[in-house]
């Protein structure tokens, strides 16, 4: 079965206010369309100074609205009509002036009018600030942001970095892909609201010498997808990641480690403060007893060095044995007999749920198939992309938790 795009069937009003970050709105309109949404662009007079309505019309495939006096609607009420079919209003970029308008309830142009006139119970308002760092830090802006959040708006960002004025600091609008992901997350069911979730992901690397080591083919993609899905579901998520080159999911706190012992040291103090622990990482079972301090050189005619290995700490079993331990979910990446090995791991680790899969068939790929194994039996999650499977797994975990966080 083909998975529908994440925003399929969603109608989004994309509002642009005056600011150089309007150039990112062009990419954002495209990203939202690729995710399945229909996009209706509304621009302020200031936004038209930075990007043309023609550009936004071409990218959204819909006429752009710029004035509350637009005569196209039969009832001359564009500010009403535009939000009645919308699932959300996303203002990106949102200038300091526009945030002030929202905080004060002012409605003197089409975009501010429709923000005030939208049916708040079913049409969310999401705001992506974009301004100079001093403007973002100004007490008035800080008060206004607090006020619009209290009024129900969701503030996305801003990020820190280089600014168009040449300064560096907070105030950059999030990138188009980040804003699209944030909008997708907004619509996901909040099954884990109020929960704290700890996830491990990726391989570990066990040094032989300064340039060589023992590792495996895990890409970390499944664990990162689970971290994202848990955050989308409303959880506070901490991700402990082995050496992988993956972007941190939005809203997720990340701790980078390298070896199994480093992962163990990071996880054990955190686990008691979390409700759920998902051990997705492919942790090395063994490591060299002693890593050489310098590169081991190959010498002609000399036998290859032998490695003496010692067992690494068992992170999942250690967390499961803690007093007041979180709900523990383990992963079993197998090369054969997935169900048999997963069930043996379930009993050996003394955890309530093991997720089995064929490691060689999924390492490095964007898709997977999972087998959920617990004391009552097994359930297959059929082949799909990893984010889809992660969302299904998060739903399964949410159902198994006690009702109150």
Task: Give me the helices (H) in 271-377, please.
Answer: 315-320, 338-349, 359-362
Residue-wise pLDDT tens digits, 65-74: 998 887 787 7
Using an 8 Å Cβ cutoff, are 214 and 287 in contact? yes
How far is Cα 360 from Cα 74, in angstroms, rounded to an integer? 60
Q: Give domain limits for the chain.
A: 11-187, 196-294+304-400
Using an 8 Å Cβ cutoff, are 192 and 234 in contact? yes
Tokens 């001093």 appear where?
134
Q: What is the DSSP string of 251-277?
A: TEEEEE--SHHHHHHHHHHHGGG-SEE
Token pair for residue 179?
Answer: 């804003």
Residue-wise pLDDT tens digits, 352-386: 999 987 666 666 677 778 888 888 888 888 888 89
Q: Give residue 238's pLDDT band: very low, low, confident or very high (50, 70, 90).
A: very high
Question: Percentage of the chain surpassing pLDDT 90?
Answer: 68
Mean local confidence (pLDDT), 239-246: 95
Q: Which CATH architecture best describes the domain 196-294+304-400?
A: 3-Layer(aba) Sandwich (3.40)
Which CATH number applies to 11-187? 3.40.50.1950
Q: What is the DSSP string of 19-76?
A: STTHHHHHHHHHHHHHTT-EEEEEE-TTGGGTS-HHHHHHHHTS--B--TT-S-STTS
CA dihedral angle for residue 182, residue 187, residue 192, residue 198, rounded to 10 degrees: -30
pLDDT at 1 over 60: no
User: Which of 342, 347, 343 is CA-nearest to residue 358?
Assistant: 342
Question: Percentage of the chain surpassing pLDDT 70?
Answer: 97
Catalytic residues: 165
> If you compute the radius of gyration of the chain from its CA atoms, what whole number of angstroms results?
25
Q: How much is the pLDDT for 139?
A: 96
Least trusted range by pLDDT, from 17-26, 82-91, 164-173, 279-288: 164-173
Q: How much is the pLDDT for 405?
A: 61
Q: How much is the pLDDT for 2?
A: 53
Confirm whether 11-187 and 196-294+304-400 share one CATH topology: yes
Residue-wise pLDDT tens digits, 219-232: 999 999 999 999 99
Q: Which tops the pLDDT comparison, 122 or 73?
A: 122
Using an 8 Å Cβ cutoff, are 367 and 384 in contact? yes
Using an 8 Å Cβ cutoff, are 36 and 67 in contact? no
Tokens 């997350």 appear where?
185
How far is Cα 297 from Cα 295, in angstroms, rounded to an integer? 6
Residue-wise pLDDT tens digits, 29-84: 999 999 999 999 999 999 999 999 999 999 999 999 998 887 787 777 778 878 98
Which long-range contacts link 100-108 to residues 24+ away (Cβ below 8 Å)?
100/140, 100/141, 100/144, 102/127, 102/144, 102/148, 102/151, 102/153, 103/143, 103/144, 103/145, 103/147, 103/148, 103/151, 107/79
What are residue 310's DSSP bridge partners? 287
Q: Give residue 319's pLDDT band: very low, low, confident or very high (50, 70, 90).
A: very high
What is the pTM (predicted TM-score) of this model?
0.88
What are residue 169's DSSP bridge partners? 161
pLDDT at 167 over 60: yes
Q: Which tops the pLDDT comparison, 233 or 72?
A: 233
């Amino acid at each position: 079965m083909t998975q529908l795009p994440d925003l399929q069937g969603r109608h989004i009003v994309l509002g642009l206010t005056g600011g150089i970050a309007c150039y990112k709105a062009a990419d954002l309109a495209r990203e939202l369309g690729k995710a399945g949404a229909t996009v209706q662009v509304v621009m302020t007079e200031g936004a038209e100074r930075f990007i043309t309505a023609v550009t936004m019309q071409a990218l959204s495939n819909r006429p752009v609205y710029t004035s509350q006096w637009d005569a196209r609607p039969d009832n001359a009420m564009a500010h009403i009509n535009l939000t009645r079919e919308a699932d959300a209003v996303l203002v990106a970029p949102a200038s300091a002036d526009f945030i002030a308008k929202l905080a004060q309830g002012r409605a003197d142009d089409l975009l501010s009018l429709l923000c005030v006139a939208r049916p708040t119970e079913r049409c969310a308002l999401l705001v992506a600030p974009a301004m100079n760092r001093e403007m973002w830090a100004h007490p008035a802006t800080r008060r206004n942001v607090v006020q619009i959040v209290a009024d129900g708006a969701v503030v996305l960002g801003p990020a820190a970095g280089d600014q168009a004025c040449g300064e560096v600091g907070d105030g950059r609008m999030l990138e188009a892909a980040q804003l699209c992901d944030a909008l997708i997350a907004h619509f996901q069911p909040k099954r884990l609201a109020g929960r704290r979730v700890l996830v491990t992901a990726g391989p570990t690397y066990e040094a032989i010498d300064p340039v060589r080591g023992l590792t495996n083919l895990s890409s970390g993609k499944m664990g990162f997808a689970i971290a994202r899905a848990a955050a989308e579901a409303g959880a506070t998520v901490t991700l402990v990641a082995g050496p992988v080159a993956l972007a941190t999911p939005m809203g997720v706190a990340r701790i980078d480690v390298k070896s199994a012992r480093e992962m163990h040291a990071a996880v054990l103090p955190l686990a008691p403060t979390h409700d759920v622990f998902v051990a997705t990482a492919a942790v090395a079972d063994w490591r060299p007893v002693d890593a050489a301090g310098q590169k081991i050189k190959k010498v002609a005619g000399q036998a290859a060095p032998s490695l003496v290995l010692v067992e690494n700490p068992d992170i999942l079993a250690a967390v499961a044995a803690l007093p007041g331990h979180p709900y523990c979910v383990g992963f079993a990446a197998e090369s054969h007999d997935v169900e048999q090995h997963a069930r043996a791991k379930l009993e050996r680790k003394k955890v309530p749920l093991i997720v089995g899969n064929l490691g060689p068939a999924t390492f490095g790929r964007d898709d997977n198939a999972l087998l959920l194994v617990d004391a009552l039996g097994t359930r297959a999650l059929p082949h799909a992309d990893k984010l889809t499977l992660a969302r299904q797994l998060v739903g399964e975990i949410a159902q198994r938790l006690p009702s109150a966080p």
